[in-house]
Amino acid sequence: MTLKYVVQAFLILLMSFLLLLGLQWLYPHSSVLQEHFKNSQLLTYYFEYEEPTDTLNLIDSTLLAQLDTLDADTLTVQEDSVSLPALKAINDKEIETDSFQVPAFANLENLEKFFASLSDSSQRRIGYWGDSMIEGDLISMTLRRKLQKEFGGEGVGFVPMISFTAGFRRTVNHVFGGGWRYFSLVKTPKKKDAPYGISGEYAMATVDSTGTKAWAEWKAPKKAEKWSRVRFFYGKGDGKTQLSMKHNYRHDSLIALKDTFAFNQLSWNDTGITRFRINLLKSGQTPLYGVSLESGNGIWVDNFNLRGNSGMPMNKIPYEVMRGFDKSLGYDLIILQFGSNVVSEKTTKYHWYESAMLRVVRHYQQCFPNASILILGLGDKSYKNEDGEMVTNPSVKRVLKAQYKIALKTGVAFYSIYSAMGGDGSMVEWADAEKPLANKDYTHFNFRGAEKVGSLLYHFLMENYLEYRKTHTVAH
């Protein structure tokens, strides 16, 4: 009799788990569930953000959605004084040959605007866009820490309103709750209610099934430097959004957002800010982009990551929004790290990727006319071949060639992570090392590996900055 009840209890637990699993899978696809129930997000994140597999071959739904929406919207661009440089002619056939080896770097002269800012400006800023390789502030946090040690500045810079990898990030304690609607270039490429922000995403406040209003909070980690300036960014809305803001534990400031422009900003200046909180009191249709947490003069590195992002949809971020951020924050260097999500051994031609990413780089050149641009060639990525051995995916070099050609045609700088890692077979060495530098998916760096890549990138920039200083009269 006792055994019977044990079996019944086990079956009830199993059925409950399977029901939860099914609801978590169904939630992002059901408007009824989204409107009437609160999602715990215990498992949904992994369903929606699964990294494309090695058998992608343009069948993966995430990538197809990005490809399908490249020309779906009409990008509103107000032509101003920004003029794009002419594309340069290159020898495509020579680069496409099997014997051609992509160099470790190219077009370093394009970094001179950034190097000049390191010498002449009291405040400099880097925008670092990427996919899951930099989520949780990986790589960028190392670059930021080393640059701030050399040039000053405190704080992590931009952080979005909500993030599904907030618990993974070490450089800021980011928590949020209540009712939120989230949109991104990857998660909701065909469904959006407002323009995307600089990170390729935005959030809108609502009320969840329990009646809890949306809120978000950012705290400085223990022993971290305090902030003296917090900036809050939002887009054009319906004028109905009301909120309160509190820094440290002081009284709330009640605010009705003036959201009449494509880009809007509110700023707080104080000493010793370690905690900043936003409570949404009245929900409107205002896209909320995020905050910037900073202090003093120096340099900041903004991390903009979207898991599963091929990079191709990034020109869907409106020109007016990007220019608004640039005029406010003043970017000196743009870093673009994409490519892993389009690698497949079954795909032999990447002209489609080259064409799409060429438009993306041109978009960035127009949106950030005063910044240098650096394309990071993707790192090594391995797969199991027919003999059961883990080897470099043959399409790594194909994508790398496409990225190199884009850099040559647009005149922007190029730096190969693949070469910096050690080239062919390096991902296997990194993942199988006694102290591994990468995960066993043979694609992603772990914290130790990301620290190394960030250091390699920092030394690449600083070595070339020192060479720049030798031929320019600078004071540092």
Are both 322 and 442 inside the same structural domain? yes
Are both 137 and 211 inside the same structural domain? no
Are both 336 and 440 inside the same structural domain? yes
In a domain, 226, yes or no: yes
In a domain, 3, yes or no: no
User: In the predicted model, is pLDDT for residue 48 greater than 50?
Assistant: no
In a domain, 37, yes or no: yes
In a domain, 12, yes or no: no
| Model pLDDT for residues 233-264, shown as the tens digit of each residue | 999 999 999 999 998 877 778 899 999 999 99
Are both 79 and 122 inside the same structural domain? yes
Are both 158 and 139 inside the same structural domain? no
Categorize the per-residue pLDDT at 85 as very low, low, confident or very high, splitting at 50, 70 and 90: confident
> How many domains is the chain built from?
3
| Model pLDDT for residues 291-339, shown as the tens digit of each residue | 999 998 999 999 999 999 999 999 999 999 999 999 999 999 999 999 9
User: In the predicted model, is pLDDT for residue 3 greater than 80?
Assistant: no
Q: What is the CATH number of the domain that holds 237?
A: 2.60.120.200
Are both 322 and 446 inside the same structural domain? yes
In a domain, 30, yes or no: yes
| Model pLDDT for residues 351-379, shown as the tens digit of each residue | 999 999 999 999 999 999 999 999 999 99
Query: What's phi and psi for 302, nearest 5 deg?
Result: -90, 125
Categorize the per-residue pLDDT at 444 as very low, low, confident or very high, splitting at 50, 70 and 90: very high
The average pLDDT across 418-436 equals 97
In a domain, 70, yes or no: yes
User: In the predicted model, is pLDDT for residue 40 greater than 90?
Assistant: no
Which residue, of 296, 330, 359, is where some domain finishes? 296
Q: What is the CATH number of the domain that holds 312?
A: 3.40.50.1110
Are both 441 and 315 inside the same structural domain? yes
Name the token pair of 292.
């910037």
Are both 472 and 330 inside the same structural domain? yes
In a domain, 252, yes or no: yes
Note the pLDDT of residue 185.
93
Q: Which residue has the higher pLDDT, 371 or 38?
A: 371
Are both 241 and 198 inside the same structural domain? yes
Are both 35 and 124 inside the same structural domain? no
pTM reported for the whole predicted model: 0.84
Residues 6 or more apart from 52 whose CB is under 8 A from it? 60, 62, 63, 308, 341, 342
- Please give the residue range of the domain that contains residue 39: 18-48
Are both 277 and 319 inside the same structural domain? no
Mean pLDDT value across the chain: 86
Q: How far is CA 356 from CA 316, 348, 372, 402, in A?
A: 12, 17, 20, 11
Are both 251 and 363 inside the same structural domain? no
In a domain, 355, yes or no: yes
Categorize the per-residue pLDDT at 8 as very low, low, confident or very high, splitting at 50, 70 and 90: confident
